[in-house]
Copies of this chain bind each other. A is one copy, B any other.
């Protein structure tokens, strides 16, 4: 037990962890047809495992009423923040070539303030008329439903079984509006996440936190899209502070590129949310999200972020696994 010959090498131990996890856990996402009780929900939180509740929000005003006309009417005159990118790639790794050097940057979108009705029309027309051009996505993730989108806030409901189980209110409620051109790159958040689809569909690819060694995390220099003052085109500008962002560079939909020795052990879970469906996306799960539109060319969702629990051993153990994985990357 004390010699190198019996103790497996660190990379074997990481591979064993991933394989062990998959042996002990389901290869599909649980589908519930009723909302869980607080105690049933705590079982999922304790396991850090996702589930979908089909039709959970079908009676919410948002699910019943939100469409292009309703949103335009209620939000008339409101200015909102919109993320603009050339490829629908807000907050994602972008490979750039300068001379014979290739670099991957973490690129944030150009953020502008626009009238909501203009954003809505742009997103919808681009989808329905298959127009080229910049991609717009309302996706601020700063509790915007209780900020810019306050007029819509009373159309969604409190989720009592989450509030009771976690003994807290949501830290943020976020409104998302975009079309099928936008894709959210694989990433993770330190929040317990309840994701409610309102219009159109969202397609999730999910990976548990213990698959960190699979995603080829790199320290990426930060950059932002900016409009070239002459051409008007979007260009990538390196951020002035020389900060870097640790970010996955493996894409579960292009699994042969940017791999690690562990990527082949990943078993991504896939699920599509329809309008009225709810997803519990546990803290620290990797997720990549793409979308399909309603016949009005819209995809709209609301999600609830609750502070995750840092006590206990889960967060500390994940941080340890990450340290170990970075040592052999």
Asked if residues A317 and B311 are in contact (CB atoms below 8 Å), the reply is no
Chief secondary structure at chain A's binding surface:
helix
Of A15-23, A108-116, A132-140, which stretch is located at the interface? A15-23
Query: Does any Cβ of B come within 8 Å of A14's Cβ?
Result: yes
Count copies of this chain in the complex: 2
> Of residues A21, A315, A318, which shows the largest number of chain B Cβ atoms within 10 Å of its Cβ?
A21
Mark out the residues of chain A between 1 and 47 whose CB falls within 8 Å of any chain B CB in the assembled complex.
1-2, 4, 6-10, 12-14, 16-17, 20-21, 24-26, 38-39, 42-43, 45-47
Query: Does any Cβ of B come within 8 Å of A327's Cβ?
Result: yes
Cα A27 to Cα B124 in complex, Å, equals 55
> Of residues A7, A9, A14, A317, which shows the largest number of chain B Cβ atoms within 10 Å of its Cβ?
A317
Asked if residues A320 and B321 are in contact (CB atoms below 8 Å), the reply is yes
Which B residues are CB-close (under 8 A) to A319?
Answer: 16-17, 20
Cα A49 to Cα B310 in complex, Å, equals 13
> Of residues A26, A208, A210, A320, which shows the largest number of chain B Cβ atoms within 10 Å of its Cβ?
A320
Closest to A210 in B: B313
Which B residues are CB-close (under 8 A) to A9?
Answer: 327
Cα A18 to Cα B246 in complex, Å, equals 23
Interface 1/0s, chain A 314-326, versus B by CB < 8 A?
1111111101101
Cα A226 to Cα B2 in complex, Å, equals 30
Asked if residues A326 and B7 are in contact (CB atoms below 8 Å), the reply is yes
Asked if residues A8 and B323 are in contact (CB atoms below 8 Å), the reply is yes
Which B residues are CB-close (under 8 A) to A327?
Answer: 4, 7-10, 13
Closest to A21 in B: B316
Q: Which of B1, B46, B47, B316 contacts A217 (CB 8 A)?
A: B1
The total of chain A residues at the interface (CB under 8 A) is 55
> Of residues A46, A218, A309, A315, which shows the largest number of chain B Cβ atoms within 10 Å of its Cβ?
A46
Q: Which of B167, B246, B309 contacts A1 (CB 8 A)?
A: B246
Known contacts A24-B316, A316-B20, A326-B7; A42/B48 CB under 8 A:
no
Q: Which of B14, B246, B315, B320 contacts A24 (CB 8 A)?
A: B315
Query: Does any Cβ of B come within 8 Å of A159's Cβ?
Result: no
Cα A8 to Cα B42 in complex, Å, equals 35
Mark out the residues of chain A between 52 and 91 whose CB falls within 8 Å of any chain B CB in the assembled complex.
none
Listed A/B pairs (9) with beta-carbon separation below 8 Å:
A1-B217, A1-B326, A6-B326, A12-B323, A14-B320, A42-B42, A210-B313, A210-B317, A324-B324
Extra pairs beyond A16-B319, A17-B317, A24-B311 (14, CB < 8 Å): A1-B217, A1-B218, A1-B326, A7-B329, A13-B323, A17-B316, A20-B316, A25-B312, A26-B311, A47-B312, A47-B313, A49-B312, A313-B317, A313-B318
